[in-house]
Structure 1
Amino acid sequence: MTAKQQTRTLSNGTELPVFGLGVWQARDGRETEQAVHWALEAGYRLIDTAQDYRNEASVGKAIRESGVPRDEIFLTTKFRPDGKDARVEAEKSLERLGADYLDLYLVHWPQSGPTWAWPGMEAAVDAGLTKGIGISNFSAAELAELGKVARIQPVVNQVLFSPFDYRAGLVEACEAANVVVQAYSPLGTGRHLDGPVVTRIADATGHTPAQVLIRWALQKGLSVIPKSVHQNRIVENAGVFDFELDDAAMAELDALDTTGRTADAMSRSSKWWS
């Protein structure tokens, strides 16, 4: 089964692929264009970018030149919350992307509190700029605060998630609020690929460490967006739908958690906003 054939239904009725490409730290221009091209060629149908990544134009160019119909691609970008108006910034993102609409528009982080940007996000939906809106790097407490005032509820919370950052409490809170969790940096930006538990499970299953880490997150019910700009790794990362990790392997990976299965999205020391 290919990545594009597995989805989760969001609370707004749209289908979110459970696997896609993230382009954080991919350089604008040829590097991003190639990565998106290779991903779409390999069957990816979810592409995730952000205003803060400064590569939206390259993502849009690659999508237009791919030959894949726009309505077959789930396109996400994120509002940089030091901007003044989320709706206006959505229009600017669409101009850079050369697209008519977004499938998902996220508040990138909860700077200045979890609620202030939301009226502009809702206005982006009302204006037809995006089908759905959501959040990123929001804790369970911040999600609950937003939920009390939102006219349109968030459909996704995109967070740092891997066996080493197993935010089980946050996933539980999101699922209770009908919010799908999406995992970014599931490979720990490469740091987790040579861990002894991960490599042993990879050897035992005949798969790569990256595939094991992605498969673990998929079996937790998440959507997963690993980043790569290398064609062989983009193809490799997609090879996660022909096997399952058994209960023993899942438990071993669960035990790698360093967060105490937190309901927070970030540790205090790792927050980059005030």
Structure 2
Amino acid sequence: MTANNSQATRELSNGTAIPVFGLGVWQAADGPETEQSVEWALELGYRLIDTAQAYQNEASVGRAIRNSGVPREEIFLTTKFYPGNEDPRAEAEKSLERLGTDYLDLYLIHWPQSGPTWAWPGMEAAVEAGLTKGIGISNFSAAEIQELSKISQIQPAVNQIQFSPFEYRAGLVEACEAAGIVAQAYSPLGTGRHLDDPVVARIASATDHTPAQVLIRWAIQKGLSVIPKSVHRERIVENFAVFDFELDAEAVAALDALDTTNQTAEALANKWWS
């Protein structure tokens, strides 16, 4: 990982660098809500924006990027293939049309519906066609990563996973690292559920930071790229202010102990696509 600052990155297997912090737009409504949150984030210095075909807000993300005035090459843009469709390459072209850009920085399989391998050749075709610089996966377990590795010509660069002190998937992160895959944390705040936990609150008070900042900082110190979602300007500001402090070993251990997954190598407890 590069220096401990707001532009810190992790190098990916394809040679590009992904910011360790960005904005996710899951559950952000298409239109002004998404546009405003992405514009605010870019104005504040965020350089990683994460969307998906399933979110149905790609066009709003694209408009916000154009309106921001930030050069496209300075932004790391991710979208995800919806695996209810059949052809990842064709769907990438549609995403680029909606986003109004010539390329993606990262294109992920959103979840391993119908198995972890069938869509990968189409993902590789998207790279070969110049539609995306990198490809990866989301919600894949350690076993599914292993299965995919047997057929892949291009290795996944990223696995985006549900990850927080309460869903501390240490086994899965270790499997990612062993395979040369950067793990990326979504829902680091548990979609808000984890903000009121007394242990988190105690550490927030002791470090003079907020519960959200503590949870994000913990995931960054675990080596992950982290993409909290918010549509509120003050929270977008708050979430970004995590590079001026470090959690000590005692605080990290206390947060680790909140895990409810037995440090699993699974990606999710409930696989909605099964």
What TM-score bracket applies, with the shorter chain setting the length?
Answer: over 0.9
Instruction: Give the residue type in structure 1 aligned to 2:205.
Output: D
Q: Which residue of 2 aligns with 1:272?
A: 272
Q: Which residue of 2 aligns with 1:258?
A: 260
5+ residue gaps, structure 2: none
- The answer as to whether partners of 1:2 and 1:43 remain within 8 angstroms in 2 is no
SS of the residue 1:191 aligns to: helix
SS of the residue 1:146 aligns to: helix
Q: CA offset at residue 272 of structure 1?
A: 1.2
SS of the residue 1:114 aligns to: coil
Q: Quick one: distance in 1 between partners of 2:273 and 2:173? A: 22
Q: Which residue of 1 aligns with 2:63?
A: 61
Q: Quick one: distance in 2 between partners of 1:163 and 1:42? A: 27
Q: Quick one: distance in 2 between partners of 1:234 and 1:158? A: 20
Instruction: Give the residue type in structure 2 aligned to 1:176.
Output: A
Root-mean-square deviation (CA, aligned residues, Å) is 0.6
- The answer as to whether partners of 1:86 and 1:120 remain within 8 angstroms in 2 is yes
Give every structure 1 segment of 4 or more consecutive aligned residues whose post-TM-superposition deviation is greater than 4 Å: none
Q: Quick one: distance in 2 between partners of 1:18 and 1:177? A: 19
Q: Which residue of 1 aligns with 2:158?
A: 156
5+ residue gaps, structure 1: none
Question: 1:75 is matched with which residue: 74, 77, 80?
Answer: 77
Q: Which residue of 2 aligns with 1:165?
A: 167
Over residues 194-253 of structure 1, what are the superposed CA-to-partner deviations in whole Å (9 max), with x where a residue is unaligned? Answer: 100000000000000000000000000000000000000000000000000000000000
TM-score, structure 2 normalization: 0.98
Q: CA offset at residue 2 of structure 1?
A: 4.6
Q: Quick one: distance in 2 between partners of 1:189 and 1:271? A: 18
Matched length: 271
Q: Which residue of 2 aligns with 1:215?
A: 217
SS of the residue 1:143 aligns to: helix
Q: Which residue of 2 aligns with 1:240?
A: 242
Q: Identity over the aligned pairs, expressed in percent?
A: 79
Q: Quick one: distance in 2 between partners of 1:72 and 1:147? A: 31
Q: CA offset at residue 271 of structure 1?
A: 1.3
TM-score, structure 1 normalization: 0.98
Q: Quick one: distance in 2 between partners of 1:147 and 1:243? A: 37
Q: Which residue of 1 aligns with 2:16?
A: 14
Q: CA offset at residue 30 of structure 1?
A: 0.1
Q: Quick one: distance in 2 between partners of 1:2 and 1:193? A: 24
SS of the residue 1:250 aligns to: helix
